[in-house]
Amino acid sequence: MPSPKVLVVVFDGLRLDHVTPNRAPNIAAFAAAGVTLPNTASAFPSETRVQVSTVMTGHPPAGHGIMANAFYDRRLGFDSAMDTSDTPRMTAAEKVYGRLIGAHHLTELLWGAGKRFAAVTTGKIGNARLLAGRAAELGQPVLSIWGEAASTPAAGFTAVARRFGTPPVQEFPNTAVADWAVRVLLEHTLPAHRPDVAVLWLNEPDLSYHYRGTASGEAESAIGGVDAAFGRILDWWRAEGRAQGWNIAAMSDHGHVTVEGQIDVAGELAKAGLAVGKALGPDVDYALKPGYSAHVAVRDRDPARIDRLVRVLQEAEWSGPILARTADPEALGVLPLAVANVDHRRAGDVLFTLRARDDESAGGLPGVALADNPDIPVGGGMHGGFARAELNHCLFWGGDLFRSGATVETPTAHVDLAPTILRALDLPPHPLMPGRALDEAFAVGDAAPPVAETVHEAGRGGYAQTLVTARVAGAKRPYLRWGLRTG
């Protein structure tokens, strides 16, 4: 029998409730024939490059240290937050940190076990870098649509572009790029590099959700386009891939809520008398990385300054859940960083999101939120917070190793992907990974493990928040379920 292999196909941002037979027939049919895990959740913040790092390490941000798509760390000495697609800053940060990704990466573990890894990604430059980990120095091919500099040497981008043409110009919906990536995967990456684990990361429907809206015609077309591309993967799988030992995980990295209004958080904090800026300095007490999901570094980590900021946020109608680095979170009415698995030295001193609700949007989809992202239109999609519609995402497994026609209700999270891949390849789990192999999804596996759900509540004055987590036997850290401001 051929040795088992795993192909991970990511549809960036795809909402679970959009996987229907009429909208995404190939994905829906694959899910129905294999294993569906409907109670799966993203890491916080539910931003793409945090999820890439979590999937590829089996650790939440508390372990891998990629705290957001862009985050401010005073130790780096930058004049603003570091965008994880900013190559010069990421290179400088790596010199400070020693390891940019502070946990063992799947590329390393596979290389150490004598297994081959390959990836094709249409995500941003940071997506490719975090997906690759140490792939460049280990001779593993990771091909990015952004060219030779964003790809590893082993991917041979120039030769690929010569054979298949340069990647199409991105547009809405971005389905031509997805078609190009699938063709490269099937006609080049898999046969030429013969990986044991391969990842295909498609950046739709995320782009169309963001800039055209979660219920827009462009989003519908984007879903249909990536579904058709996945259909070609399934044709290959049925014809030859499954017989070669391939199992498939089809998933998204997060969901989306709909933007119902924009807030200038820096302006609001300044109105409240806080000395806010992009980086700590002589006249800046609070370094803000703005956005729907925001974080603040506080001068000297001074408890009085942290308390003052928290009070301003609690009195603002636009703020959502609040986490803080403090010795006494209960006194401040906040939740500790550890509750959301972001207790890392690179984390901000105060993390918060703007207010979200489970209400239906104008397009009829559950989940609306305020944002501080001027490039995203009102009515566009957003993610990064704790709302159900953005934390909950798609996860389906199929292949000879997995159950058929099954739904597994046990909570799971991105930290479980790497351990499950290792289990599929009959490799031992890494002892430091907080995630667990999803044994209950395997054809020959254990029964669903015990689950204990915890409701975390905090508040002060008229402000109240709730965050729900689940403890699952075998996992070393809790899984997020959802969180909202409740008062």
Q: Which amino acid is at 8?
A: V
Query: What is the crossing angle of helices 48-57 and 417-424, to 10°?
Result: 40
Phi-psi region of 58 (alpha: psi -120 to 50; beta: other; left: phi over 0): left
* Spatial separation of the C-alpha atoms in residues 261 and 37, rounded to whole Å: 32
Which residues does residue 470 pair with via DSSP β-bridges, in sequence order?
Answer: 453, 479
* Spatial separation of the C-alpha atoms in residues 360 and 364, rounded to whole Å: 5
CA atoms within 13 A on the CB side of 479: 27
Instruction: Say which DSSP state 173 is in.
Output: S
* Spatial separation of the C-alpha atoms in residues 60 and 57, rounded to whole Å: 8
Long-range pairs for 423-428 at CB < 8 Å and ≥24 separation?
424/4, 424/6, 424/247, 425/3, 425/4, 425/5, 425/6, 425/110, 425/113, 425/115, 425/196, 425/197, 426/4, 427/109, 427/113, 427/115
C-alpha 409 chain-centroid distance: 21
Torsion over CA of 215, 220, 222 and 226, rounded to 10 degrees? 130
From first to last of its 487 residues, what are the pLDDT tens digits of the chain? 899 999 999 999 999 999 999 999 999 999 999 999 999 999 999 999 999 999 999 999 999 999 999 999 999 999 999 999 999 999 999 999 999 999 999 999 999 999 999 999 999 999 999 999 999 999 999 999 999 999 999 999 999 999 999 999 989 999 999 999 999 999 999 999 999 999 999 999 999 999 999 999 999 999 999 999 999 999 999 999 999 999 999 999 999 999 999 999 999 999 999 999 999 999 999 999 999 999 999 999 999 999 999 999 999 999 999 999 999 999 999 999 999 999 999 999 999 999 999 999 989 999 999 999 999 999 999 999 999 999 999 999 999 999 999 999 999 999 999 999 999 999 998 999 999 999 999 999 888 999 999 999 999 999 999 999 999 999 999 999 999 999 9
What is the model's pTM? 0.97
Contact status, residue 12 vs residue 367, Cβ threshold 8 Å: no
Domains and CATH numbers, the chain: 5-258+383-441 (3.40.720.10), 259-361+367-374 (3.30.1360)
